[in-house]
Structure 1
Amino acid sequence: MSRQKSLLHSDFHLPYNPKLVERAKELRKNMAPAEKKLWNNYLKNLKFRFLRQRPIHNFIVDFYCANLKLVIEVDGDSHFTDEGKDYDAERTAILEGYRLKVIRFTNDDVLNNFEGVCQQIEEVITFTNS
């Protein structure tokens, strides 16, 4: 209960933890290579505005588009442990509880199948926006 009180609500009625702002800024400055590639070569030029390293609830999501209610996560090796998979499943369930669509890619997907990743994002955008 006290955890919820420390969250601010944005225009989109998503809980926002102001304590995560500094960490989000650090993550923006030090993006992983796969995140940087997806951002610089695709997301920042889309007609829909994506935000990088956006605090939502008690998490920082990699990319968020408010208009599409879409979260894109790019996962590194830590996400493939049993603990990482459990954490991601819980996190995804919470985000989906706010009616957000969450899609995930691995670093390897982005670095080695970039066109396929972009095509999948386009398909989600087309479906979400229709």
Structure 2
Amino acid sequence: MSDADLEEIRKARLQQLRAQQGSPGAGGGGEGSGQDEQKRREAEARSAILNQILLPEAADRLGRIRLVKESRATDVENRLIMLARSGQLRAKVTEGQLKDLLNAVAEKEREEGADRIVISRRKGGWDDDDDLLDL
């Protein structure tokens, strides 16, 4: 991560803090937009962290995964952010490392799915003999 990237992040964070300090007296009418603003800021923070820890190829793959299955992409992003915040990532994540993480998430989902078996039986189903009664 270069000094220019860090400086951009600092400026963005400083802007966010200034916006937060300037808006507490806005009144009750802005609560919905305040929540939207909060969600937007969280999304920007997530993308900034992911841009710092992912190589471009890995970020592209994660974007393609999001198009197919958004929940899986979100799970992988959450794991990556957790690893980054805990200091377990020493370098940027490669596409191969992202594939390994995807396999781990997929395996976890399979294990969780194996615990839940749902059997749905139809009541009052049709029988071949029922057709003869209508004649």
Normalization by structure 2: what TM-score?
0.32
Higher gyration radius (CA): 2
When normalised by structure 1's length, the TM-score is 0.33
